[in-house]
Amino acid sequence: MLLPEFSEIDSLRYGISPGQRIDLGLATTQSLLSYIGKPLKPFAGHPKAYGWQQTYRQQFPEIGSRWMSACDVPDLDLLPERYSIKSIQFSAGMELKLVHGSLWLLGWLIRLGLPLNLPKYAPVLLHLNRWLDPLGTSSGGMHISIKGKDHAGEPKTVDWFIIAKDGDGPQIPTIPAIVLANKLAANEIDLKGAMPCVSLVSLQDYLDALKEFNVSVAQNITN
């Protein structure tokens, strides 16, 4: 959607931060713990990135600021090639500084060589995390920051946000499957087989399907 704003894209930095009271689930927690502190596969602009490192503080509309740290996702392979992005980072962030910082410290223990099998402790860590729920909220968000050049060759930055409240954040990742199923049922897609769904779901498709939930978007442009 934002591609027409740019003549070229230098960097894409984006990430998600769920509310503390959202249940991450055992599989998600095990997946995260499997790579924190470990080298990530080299990707555009980050040949030596580590899981849950490259940390920064991100300001979100309505829900305040959150710490964010690098994660491993397929986007790191798919998007730079498709959109000629020179540098990309996907991050995730926990609402509570205590939780986020604890994972960051565990990542450093792994980087220092301690033979910790963190996924083994996922059930225990999830249980401990639930004790902290009264300190957090059920509100989360996603941020996208694209930097590049406009069509006059001048620097341009676009920051885009989606904010979910009342525990509606987990609805967001389910929407593409619903939209695609509806498109297939209506014979609007004639593709077959397994493939990335990049460009098969538009932002408007997404937002239309989210209308019944407490979800909003915001955008800032800097020239």
| Domain annotation covers residue 123 | yes
Residues 6+ apart with CB under 8 A from 39: 48, 49, 50
Please tell me the pTM assigned to this model: 0.91
pLDDT of residue 168: 95
Based on the structure, what is the number of domains in the chain? 1
Nearest to 145 by CA among 9, 7, 47, 42: 9
- Neighbour-count burial of 79, counting CB atoms closer than 10 A to its CB (0-12 exposed, 13-18 middle, 19+ buried): buried
Give the Cβ contact number of residue 218 at 10 Å: 14
Predicted local confidence at residue 182, as pLDDT:
93
Residue 191 lies in a domain: no
Dist. CA 110–CA 118, nearest whole Å: 9
Range of the domain at 91: 3-165+217-222
Question: Could you tell me the mean pLDDT of each successive run of 10 residues in the chain, 223 residues long?
Answer: 91 96 92 94 91 96 96 92 92 97 96 94 94 96 96 95 95 92 91 87 93 94 78
Q: Is 200 contained in some domain?
A: no
Q: Which of 171, 178, 165 is nearest to 205 (CA)?
A: 178
CATH number, residue 89 = 3.30.360.10
Span between the terminal Cα atoms of the chain, in Å? 18
Question: Residue 35: enclosing H or E segment and its boundaries?
Answer: helix 26-35
